[in-house]
Amino acid sequence: MKRKTISGQLVNASPKQKQLISLSQFIIEEQLKIPYASGEFSALLNHLVYAAKIVGREVRKAGLLDGILGSTEDTNVQGETQMKLDQYADNAFNNSLKICGHLCVLASEEHEEVIQIPEGYAIGKYTMAIDPLDGSSNIDTNVSIGTIFSIHQRLDPGSKAPGEHKDLLQKGSKQICAGYIIYGSSTMLVLTTGKGVTGFTLDPSLGEFLLSHPSMKTPEKGDIYSANEGNAGYWSPEVQNYISHIKSIEGGKKPKTGRYIGSLVADVHRNLLKGGIFLYPNDTKSSKYPNGKLRLLYEAAPMALIAEQAGGMAVTVKGERVLDLQPTELHERTTLIIGSKNEVEEFLKFIPKK
Contact residues for Mg ion, defined by CB under 5 A: 131, 134
Q: Report CA torsion sign: 154, 157, 163, 165.
A: negative
**By CB under 6 A, residue 335 contacts ligand AHM:** no
Find the shortest distance in angstroms from Cβ 40 to ligand AHM: 29
The answer to whether 233 contacts ligand AHM (rule: CB under 6 A) is: no
CA distances from 139 to 16, 151, 226, 238 (A): 39, 26, 20, 33
CA distances 51 to 44, 73, 88, 97, 238, Å, are 11, 23, 11, 8, 42
Which of the ranges 5-13, 133-141, 308-316, 318-326 carries the binding residues for ligand AHM, by CB under 6 A?
133-141
The answer to whether the annotation marks 135 as part of a ligand binding site is: yes
Total length of the chain: 354
Distance CA 106, CA 108 (A): 7
Binding segment (CB under 6 A) for ligand AHM, from list 23-31, 121-129, 130-138, 177-185: 130-138
- Considering CB distances under 5 to 8 angstroms, the limit depending on partner class, which of Mg ion, ligand AHM, none binds residue 309? none
- In the list ligand AHM, Mg ion, none, the entry touching 207 (Cβ below 5 to 8 angstroms by class) is none
Rounded to an integer, what distance in angstroms lies between the CA atom of residue 146 and that of residue 265? 6
Could you give the CA distance from residue 115 to residue 132 in angstroms, rounded to a whole number? 14
The answer to the question of residue 136 lying near ligand AHM (CB under 6 A) is yes
22 or 91: CB nearest Mg ion: 91
> Nearest distance from residue 137's CB to Mg ion, in Å?
10
Minimum Å gap between C-beta 222 and Mg ion is: 24
Min dist CB 131 to Mg ion, Å, is 4
| Cα distance between residue 283 and residue 266, in whole Å | 23
Q: State yes or no: 179 annotated in a binding site.
A: no
**Partner in contact with 228, chosen from ligand AHM, Mg ion, none, beta carbon below 5 to 8 Å by kind:** ligand AHM
DSSP strand pairing (208-213 vs 224-226): unpaired
Nearest-angstrom CA–CA distance, 239 and 348: 10
136 touches, from ligand AHM, Mg ion, none (C-beta below 5 to 8 Å by class):
ligand AHM
267 annotated to bind ligand: no
- What are the helix and strand counts (H, E) for the chain? 8, 17
Give binding residues as ranges.
109, 131, 133-137, 228, 260, 293, 299
| Residue stretches of the annotated binding site for substrate | 134-137, 228, 260, 293
